[in-house]
Structure 1
């Protein structure tokens, strides 16, 4: 029995009931806050692991290039023609029988992981993308390392998210976080990586994931620079707008670059489904034939179109090619990249697009310098504008293109 004058039992229990009720109401918010904070911390580790993977990726690719094409910046000899073809056969077998998800650049697969597969990317895909892209790009296929780095980062993030047992909602968002980390390490540019992931992978600005994307990109670049230094992909000489009339010349370059981007895109869209529709046995030889064509172009005196080609962008900016040579390289790079990509060879389109844009910009600069010398600025400026035009026109990422070339 309760003592005289004491409140009834139900009245004494009411404060405890109210506290328990309040805790029950706030627990989901507390849990959500804890998970959000954990997701941000996890984003930093995703950036670290992605950067380490990209560092290994770049070193392996460079080692492969040295072994197959030789130490010279401009390779020559019969091996230049034979190496891409032989490696193309190996890559085809790996893609068709071991790693079927690594075909192409990897950007669309990362978008599919976000919107279709709830963030799931098999770790096997990470290994496959690493191995096949190292072999393909290292042997001279006309593709770049940035898109594979993006997919490698996304795959590592997906594996780490499953390992720590993230909720389904957070696991779905983990792919673009890893994609930003991988791309930032490949570009050595966190802002460009963040913008591209928002523009092309996520497709919209999302406050719920922006912080994690930024954290992963920054931590990735910090780690990458601690291993490979902070040198940019190419050295940009001083460039400035000397007189307003130059804007007319840049407008002409915009038209030429936009038309080239349309031709480039339509060539891929035309050939890719037709090659996919061919009998399966032909797919074993498509990367090899593409490699043989690219190797032949290199053997005949244009090895600049092999691989990513960043060193030749640098040379173009420093006026080390004639404008005729720049125009030829732009056209050959479109052909080489088209056949590499439509054959299903793993590799990216970022570097080839920048290469084509730089060569076109330099070529247009040479023509306009010959016709209108008082309107033409430095070659480097035209190369930068050309890269921005091709990147925006082909990859449809205008914001990224602006920050990419600045």
Structure 2
């Protein structure tokens, strides 16, 4: 099989991922806005009756999302990125026929319920599953299959955020140990990402997903961005370790009682918060843009940071299909604003510094959790269109990553994959005589 045919398949596969990703995102947005509007406007509920109904809907959606995962495709839990990395390493199997429907419909339920989860992880997993379907149809060998898996994952990320360059770099930097690099596979990743992005843009437009207009920053403000990077390096290590702690303790609760108890509780809470405090719910991409423009008080920002941190941990620990990219970006935006507002009480900051810190915060926390600083820098630029502050973003991201490494931090997807292997090994029965 020649390179031309392989690359043609990558283009077609990328276009298919763009369609699937766009349908997934449109469904999430429609249901997320639809059910609260139905309760308020069609049923005319308000006050305690509205909160009770919201709690019931949130719990039902959370439980339904977990049921689909546990009953039909356990590997569809979480973001799916560790599963793809494991498959590219030859250690996991992508059972695409069951993952595709479960990740699609389970992800719609989970993300629409109000839980603090991102759409990018499911879209990456969907993309890789589509790629596996194409590869099986072609009956390709392991190396070509792994290369197409990487291309499918990149196409999924390109569809999630309309960020094809960051998607390509994600494969190069995040999956550097697993990606079977060759000109053939590398070009396939680029073509699939571009094809997916073109389809996505034709459906949703080509405006940056989280567009924020900011001015250039003076050289005198750069120490402020370095300081933010140092802070986010510490936060990133804490974020990753807390997430694993939550996963372990919620699993113990499930083993001791039922795996549906915790998701029910989380669903009840988010179903109320959707109406009472929407800032503490959902992925938070639009929230990040709103907060960067509004300039809320220090206390309010601190409360949002604490709530979103706690709800991210709780939501991901339920075991439903959902990612952590978007929650990390929203949390980072709020942290950047909180940091900048606090600094502003001590010294005067130039106009535009607060939204610039919010944007730089995204790159910083991404670098200190995912462990991919280059992807963080480029992703932030493509998401916001804020190319005027590229240098501050780079400084924030690299200093955050340096602190992350100095404190012994490890990329969260790497840790999650190792945890999956450890749990599976522990669940196997011991051989006779042991």
TM-score category, normalised to shorter length: 0.7 to 0.9
1:178 — aligned with what?
152
1:198 — aligned with what?
172
Tell me the TM-score normalised to structure 1 length.
0.85
1:149 — aligned with what?
123
**1:83 matches 2:72:** no
Contact 2:254 2:261 in 1 (8 A): no
- 1:266/1:118 CA distance change after superposition, 3 Å: closer
2:289 — aligned with what?
314
**1:333 matches 2:300:** no
SS across alignment from 2:345: helix
**1:66 matches 2:12:** no
Contact 2:228 2:336 in 1 (8 A): yes
- 1: CA distance between counterparts of 2:370 and 2:300? 25
What does residue range 100-119 of structure 1 map to in structure 2 within 5 Å?
100-116=74-90
SS across alignment from 1:347: coil
- 1:376/1:179 CA distance change after superposition, 3 Å: same
- 2: CA distance between counterparts of 1:111 and 1:153? 13
Deviations for 1:318-361, whole angstroms, at most 9, x for unmatched residues?
13422332222122111001011112121011100000110011
Structure 2: gaps spanning 5 or more residues = 41-45, 382-434
2:13 — aligned with what?
46
- 1: CA distance between counterparts of 2:30 and 2:265? 24
Bigger Rg, which one: 1
- 2: CA distance between counterparts of 1:193 and 1:138? 24
Deviations for 1:270-322, whole angstroms, at most 9, x for unmatched residues?
121232234445212222222223344445x4211211121111112213422
SS across alignment from 1:217: helix
2:387 — aligned with what?
none
- 2: CA distance between counterparts of 1:70 and 1:199? 41
2:376 — aligned with what?
401
- 1:165/1:69 CA distance change after superposition, 3 Å: same
Tell me the TM-score normalised to structure 2 length.
0.80
- 1: CA distance between counterparts of 2:237 and 2:272? 26
2:192 — aligned with what?
216
**Number of equivalent positions:** 369
2:346 — aligned with what?
371
Q: Higher mean Cα deviation, 377-386 or 218-227?
A: 377-386
- 2: CA distance between counterparts of 1:37 and 1:374? 54
Give the deviation of 1:364 after TM superposition: 1.0
Give the deviation of 1:38 after TM superposition: 1.6
- 1:103/1:120 CA distance change after superposition, 3 Å: closer
